[in-house]
Amino acid sequence: MPEYEISVERTGAKVATRAQLADGPLTRMKGLLGRRSLDRGEALILRPCWSVHTWFMRFALDVVFVDKTGRVLKIARRIGPWRFTAARGAADAIEFQGGSLDSEDLAEGDRLLIAPATTTPDRA
């Protein structure tokens, strides 16, 4: 599965260096279920998606909702298991490990750029 990088247009900072795209009904439905965590720099892009639930999840999520142009509509931080969050008008939801966006300069109105990853880490 191809990997993507996600950066903030305003600052150039990379918020994810290993993002995967879930754009089919089965991959979106599975999402992160069964995972124990996400590593720093990992993310899951759910497309299309305007709402996220954390039922049966084992860890908290940071979720960024963006419109069709990549503009950040909402940032939901540290969404614990058995919760729900949504953003009207969102085209994608991007899930990160809960708390991983705390040190990032990211705000509503920023634009996220999603591009194919320039390097693929060894998966030995």
Q: Return the pLDDT at 76.
A: 98
In the chain, which residue ranges form alpha helices assigned H by DSSP? 25-30
Would the pTM count as exceeding 0.85?
A: yes
Ranges 21-30, 49-58, 77-86, 106-115: which has the least confidence: 21-30
Do the beta carbons of residue 11 and residue 104 sit within 8 Å? no
Residue 90 has pLDDT above 90, yes or no: yes
The per-residue pLDDT for range 53-73, each reduced to its tens digit, is: 999 999 999 999 999 999 999
Taking the C-alpha atoms of residue 41 and residue 101, their distance in angstroms, rounded to an integer, is 10
- Of the ranges 22-31, 35-44, 115-124, which is most confident? 35-44
Do the beta carbons of residue 99 and residue 37 sit within 8 Å? no
Share of the chain above pLDDT 90, in %: 79
Q: How confident is the model at residue 27 (pLDDT cuts 50, 70, 90)?
A: confident
